[in-house]
Amino acid sequence: MNLDALNKVANRLVEPGRGILAADESNATIKKRFDGIGVECTEDNRRDYREMMFRAKDAMSFVSGVILYDETIWQNGKDGTPLVKLIEDVNSIPGIKVDEGTRELAGARGDLVTRGLDKLHERLPKYHEKGARFAKWRAVIDPTNGRPSYAGLVANAHALARYANLCQEFDIVPIVEPEVLMDGDNDIDTTYAVTEWVLKETFQQLYYLNVALEGIVLKPNMIVPGKKAAKQASVDEVAEKTIRCLKACVPSAVPGIAYLSGGQSDELATAHLSRMNQIGGFPWKMTFSYGRALQAAPQKAWSGKAEQVEAAQKAFLHRARMNGLASLGKWNETLEREAA
Ligand code: 13P
């Protein structure tokens, strides 16, 4: 393990002004997105869509790294250029999702546990050879209906740590993603309490598994109420509670935090990040690692039509720029409207 190299990559990923594009939807998930815009989910369409984003040079100037799905990392663009090369050519870092989704953990109140550790030690060097310098593994925690169970929480934290340990062995920066979901009716304080527990257990397991914190990026949820909660929260409340929770749980040796958007609206995901960076007073860089909150607008503009590529790239540029500003604490509503 070359910790110096890992630390350099981790720092590049969270460089102020830029953040990560999560373009690692599984075929089942991207099919859901394509269904929403009336596009058939074929291998070529998936390639064309992602190629459209990676060739959007202006937008990509705000993208420090791209998380790819296993199909995408091996694909070439229409003219034969490897998609990985398109990403490297704009000074962005290719990454790879290595988890294999979830399955219910027996006897754990319906908690899910993330799969994919088997043979991970054989897959990682192949991804590294192809250019991946970081990876992603997502644990999913449901904070409703008496969940999570102790068993579910510990199993997920342990799997994240095993994954992170393996990534570092093969000189790949692990993005450690324990996601507390925001789909339910949980209030903001429940999200806070569950996230605190999840983060504390995750860092305990990372410690037990000898993971070097200087060579990881944490990808947590923000402290928001569930979408179906009786009361929503202000931008200030989300920003303050998220900072407080992370300060209580995340060691300062971690170079950076790159949030998932988790189902927040595009603009709220941006506003929350910007407000946190405006408040400041924490030891890590804070940026985005958004999937939906970066792609919803360009997806809609593209709608599978070659003649719409330019409009889609423009929509992508706008969201990427707004989030780049948010990583500096410099986004505001006037800029959002002016540039739109
Ligand atoms: P969202 O920003 O859409 O939550 O996706 C980020 C991600 O990579 C989830 O694993």
Q: Specify the pairing of strand 256-259 against strand 93-97.
A: unpaired
Cβ neighbours of residue 189 closer than 8 Å, sequence gap 6 or more: none
- Sign for the pseudo-dihedral over CA of 112, 117, 120, 124: positive
Q: Which of 97, 219, 241, 285 is catalytic?
A: 219
Q: Is the C-beta atom of 292 inside 6 A of ligand 1?
A: yes
Are the beta carbons of 24 and 294 closer than 8 angstroms?
no
Residue 292 CA, closest ligand 1 atom number:
3
219 as an active site residue: the answer is yes
Mean pLDDT throughout 211-222?
Answer: 98
The pLDDT of residue 262: 97
User: Is pLDDT at 180 greater than 90 in this prediction?
Assistant: yes
Mean pLDDT throughout 314-340?
Answer: 94
Q: Is the C-beta atom of 293 inside 6 A of ligand 1?
A: yes
Residue 262 CA, closest ligand 1 atom number:
4
Q: Is the C-beta atom of 12 inside 6 A of ligand 1?
A: no
Peptide bond connecting 148 to the previous residue in cis, omega within 30 degrees of 0: yes
Q: Is the C-beta atom of 260 inside 6 A of ligand 1?
A: yes
- The burial of 107, by beta-carbon neighbours within 10 Å (0-12 exposed, 13-18 middle, 19 or more buried), is given as exposed
Q: Superfamily assignment of 3-339 in CATH?
A: Aldolase class I (3.20.20.70)
Residue 288 CA, closest ligand 1 atom number:
2
Q: Is the C-beta atom of 137 inside 6 A of ligand 1?
A: no
Alpha helices in 38-130 (DSSP H): 43-54, 57-60, 70-73, 83-89, 120-130
pLDDT in tens, 261-279: 999 999 999 999 999 999 9
Using DSSP, state whether 237 is helix, strand or coil.
Answer: helix
Q: Which of 177, 179, 201, 336 is catalytic?
A: 177
Which of 261, 266, 294 for mutating ligand 1's site (highest number of atoms within 8 Å of CB)?
A: 261
Are the beta carbons of 168 and 212 closer than 8 angstroms?
yes
How much distance in Å is there from the Cα of 22 to the middle of ligand 1?
6
User: Is pLDDT at 339 greater than 80 in this prediction?
Assistant: no
d(CA 84, CA 126): 14
The model's pTM: 0.98
How much distance in Å is there from the Cα of 23 to the middle of ligand 1?
9
How much distance in Å is there from the Cα of 98 to the middle of ligand 1?
14
Are the beta carbons of 216 and 176 closer than 8 angstroms?
yes
User: DSSP strand E in 181-270: where?
Assistant: 217-218, 256-259
Q: Is the C-beta atom of 290 inside 6 A of ligand 1?
A: yes
Q: Where are the domains of the chain?
A: 3-339
pLDDT in tens, 134-143: 999 999 999 9
The pLDDT of residue 340: 62
Q: Is the C-beta atom of 22 inside 6 A of ligand 1?
A: yes
97 as an active site residue: the answer is no
Closest CA to 110 of 147, 158, 139: 147
> Using 50, 70 and 90 to split pLDDT, how confident is the model at 220?
very high
Are the beta carbons of 104 and 110 closer than 8 angstroms?
yes
The angle that helices 43-54 and 309-326 make with each other, rounded to 10 degrees, is 50
Residue 177 CA, closest ligand 1 atom number:
10
206 φ, ψ (degrees, to nearest 5): -60, -40
Closest CA to 17 of 340, 322, 318, 337: 322
CB-facing half-sphere around the CA of 43: CA atoms within 13 A: 9
Mean pLDDT throughout 197-214?
Answer: 98
Q: Identity (one letter) of the amino acid at 245?
A: C
> Using 50, 70 and 90 to split pLDDT, how confident is the model at 338?
confident
Q: Is the C-beta atom of 138 inside 6 A of ligand 1?
A: yes
Cβ neighbours of residue 82 closer than 8 Å, sequence gap 6 or more: 75, 76
pLDDT more than 90, % of the chain: 99
Which residue's alpha carbon is nearest to atom 10 within ligand 1?
A: 138
Q: Is the C-beta atom of 220 inside 6 A of ligand 1?
A: no
